[in-house]
Structure 1
Amino acid sequence: MTADAELLTVPEVMARLKISRSTVYDLIRTRQLASITLGRVRRIPAHALTDFIHARLEQEAA
């Protein structure tokens, strides 16, 4: 699997962004962070996290 196709768990996203579990789920719920559900688990594509970070950087720069 390539880095672009890597699927991250919620705890991995929490660690990378240094935010709480509820904040990650809020970002998912408000569609600011894309995710997929596989059975009963939620996964975030690595590229979706990168896109989210770039979007936030652009918002901060504006």
Structure 2
Amino acid sequence: MTVPEVAEALRVNKVTVRRWIKAGTLPAVKVGRDYRIQATDVAAMTEAAS
């Protein structure tokens, strides 16, 4: 998933997603200038927040 896709799925701002990546809260892989996040990591984050 891309940063905008994660932001839309979690209903947060793209800047928030990038902060989570930088802080290490959300694992991501940098591809060129963009990040890719696994859907399983996003699902795990939503479960942890609930």
Do they fold alike, i.e. is TM over 0.5? Answer: yes
1:10 partner amino acid:
V
Aligned to 2:33: 40
Alpha-carbon separation, structure 2, partners of 1:29 and 1:41 = 13
1:38 partner amino acid:
V
Q: 1:2-41 to 2 correspondence within 5 Å?
A: 8-41=1-34
Aligned length: 50
What is the aligned-residue identity percentage?
32
Please report how far the alpha carbon of residue 40 of structure 1 lies from its aligned counterpart in structure 2 after TM superposition.
2.4
- Give the TM-score normalised by structure 2: 0.85
- Give the TM-score normalised by structure 1: 0.71
Aligned to 2:47: 54
More strand by share: 1
2:43 partner amino acid:
T
Please report how far the alpha carbon of residue 39 of structure 1 lies from its aligned counterpart in structure 2 after TM superposition.
2.5
Structure 2 runs not aligned, ≥5 long: none
